Structure 1
Amino acid sequence: MGARFILEHISALDANGKDVVDLGCGNGVLSLKLKKTFPQARITAVDESYMATASAKNNFEINQLPDSDCQFITNNCLDGFGVESQDLVVCNPPFHQQQAVTDHIAWQMFCDAKHVLRSQGELMVIGNRHLGYDKKLARLFGKHNVKRVASNAKFVILQATK
């Protein structure tokens, strides 16, 4: 449900010709939308699961999208990515790890995103309203660098600028 909501707002980004990471890509639905909306974007779909990155790559093939300027990487968040190497990170972080509700994975994703973003780079995050990502992002990026893009009864989409 969160992915469906953020899909409605992908077109508000400025990603054409930019280096874009779909962090925690799952089946690649956000990567697909990004590539369809911004054909000149260089997409990197990242997930900790080999099955997820294989699924994302397969979905590009099924949708007949060119993936010559796309990468599908199985990785622990953004470990090994260069400092200030990306323009945009889009993220729908998990907040469950088995039965535990936690935000430690999201926090690592946010910290890693800040590390790899270039100056004026952006992180777009979707999360359940009750998770308080706005406060966490404000602590990391600065209060004036975080804005609400959209919200509904269940979710909030936030954009943090480095």
Structure 2
Amino acid sequence: MDLAALRRWPDVEADNLFAVDASDRLILAEAESALQGTPAGEVVVIGDRYGALTLAALEAVGLPAAGAEGIRVHQDALSGELALAANAAALGVDAGFRSVALGVEQHPGELLAGARVVLLQLPRSLDALDEIAAAIARHAEPDVVVFAGGRIKHMTPAMNTVLGEHFGRLDVSLAQQKSRVLRASAPHQAATAPWPRKNRHDDLKLTVAAHGAAFAGASVDIGTRFLLGHLAEAKPGARSAIDLGCGTGILATALALHRPELRVLATDQSAAAVASARATAAANGVSERVIVVRDDGLSAQPDASAELIVLNPPFHVGATVHAGIALKLFEHAARVLAPGGQLWCVWNSHLGYGPALRDIVGPTRQIARNAKFTITASTRAS
């Protein structure tokens, strides 16, 4: 299979952003003998970014017979699911795999029951790795083998420790093209705290719940904390609001707690974020007033439908510092804001998003600024 032909779309595409890297190829090489002769229904792929692992594994095991189970795939990012589907269609593959949730909320064994080979792109978060490893150890077959790979610059000895808490054997591959694979086997149940983890922030009168892959975990990152102090000023007469890129749902929950007149929608492309935001809303007693959906930006929302959008945009695309995600979210907000609607945004001051916000959304004023962050309000022109 020509992995170089795969695209990142609908994720951000640029000359320095790639759909496949050496760690994908090394995982596949290390797992080659294990995949041979293994039915597709016993293969699970976790963390596949744009489809390289799934499509190559499917080629290795062969298309399942009609009615047989295909490869099960879990990708935290919705853009990853969409890219996998698009790449499969471009290659003429219309069967043989299906996307499945990690199972943190419902049907916890659906992804991993019966699994004997797991291909895993190592997450950068140790908490995410812990939750994934615990799920594999709990639900996969006793003879399961996990091929977990990544770029060496993003791997730490602590990853070995986390895997060692859930597996009795861990073998480490030789480094190739600055990548390495950890091979975990002999799963066992570990006495670790269940997910999601919760943390009560008494100063904010807010409980935050977080699954492993959620940004900042159950803490409150300093940018969000800065914006929380100004939410009461945001479009006071608004009756509806959207927390775009909601993460653990802190802004959405705070809006619902302190502004009971608001109907709040929280949206994120991360499955872990969506599960976390629902748990955060529930922990604070506002589940009935905070609707959480998984979406690629605001793709599912109608034009000119929102009075207020709040946003703490990421400034990384994967491991690469890149403005593309923020600009994409600004464009989504501009489309969905009603005339006179406002986008309230907090961003690292050095990124200088002011001109982009004015160009994409509309007139933009500074609300507050501290040593690191700037809060702006951008109004959609009538």
TM range (shorter): over 0.9
2:342 pairs with one of 96, 101, 122: 122
Q: Is the 8 A contact 1:15 1:88 kept in 2?
A: no
Q: Is the 8 A contact 2:306 2:341 kept in 1?
A: yes
Deviation at 1:63, TM superposition (A): 1.1
Note if 1:113 corresponds to 2:336.
Answer: no
Q: Which residue in 2 is equivalent to 1:149? A: 367
Inter-partner Cα distance in structure 1 for 2:226 and 2:238? 24
Deviation at 1:15, TM superposition (A): 4.7
Secondary structure of 2:288's partner? coil
Secondary structure of 1:56's partner? helix
Deviation at 1:97, TM superposition (A): 2.0
- In the TM superposition, structure 1's runs of 4+ consecutive aligned residues that sit over 2 Å from their partners are 14-17, 67-70
Inter-partner Cα distance in structure 1 for 2:300 and 2:282? 27
Matched length:
159
2:373 corresponds to which letter in structure 1? F
1:10-159 to 2 correspondence within 5 Å?
10-15=231-236, 18-65=239-286, 67-142=287-362, 145-159=363-377
Structure 1's unaligned 5+ residue stretches are: none
Inter-partner Cα distance in structure 1 for 2:247 and 2:240? 19
Structure 2's unaligned 5+ residue stretches are: 1-221
Inter-partner Cα distance in structure 1 for 2:239 and 2:302? 15
TM-score (structure 2 length as normaliser): 0.41
Inter-partner Cα distance in structure 2 for 1:100 and 1:141? 25
With over 3 angstroms needed to count, the CA separation of the structure-2 counterparts of 1:150 and 1:17, relative to structure 1, is: closer
Inter-partner Cα distance in structure 2 for 1:58 and 1:150? 30
Deviations 1:41-74 (A, max 9, x none): 1100000111111111111111112x33431010
Q: Which has the larger radius of gyration?
A: 2
Q: Is the 8 A contact 1:21 1:45 kept in 2?
A: yes
Tell me: higher relative CO, structure 1 or 2? Use CA pairs within 8 A at least 6 residues apart. Answer: 1
Secondary structure of 1:40's partner? coil
TM-score (structure 1 length as normaliser): 0.93
Inter-partner Cα distance in structure 2 for 1:14 and 1:141? 16
Q: Is the 8 A contact 1:22 1:90 kept in 2?
A: yes
More strand by share: 1
Q: Is the 8 A contact 1:17 1:42 kept in 2?
A: no
Q: Is the 8 A contact 2:316 2:325 kept in 1?
A: no
Q: Is the 8 A contact 1:128 1:155 kept in 2?
A: yes
The percentage of aligned residue pairs carrying the same residue is 35
Q: Is the 8 A contact 2:317 2:324 kept in 1?
A: no
2:336 corresponds to which letter in structure 1? V
Q: CA RMSD in A?
A: 1.3
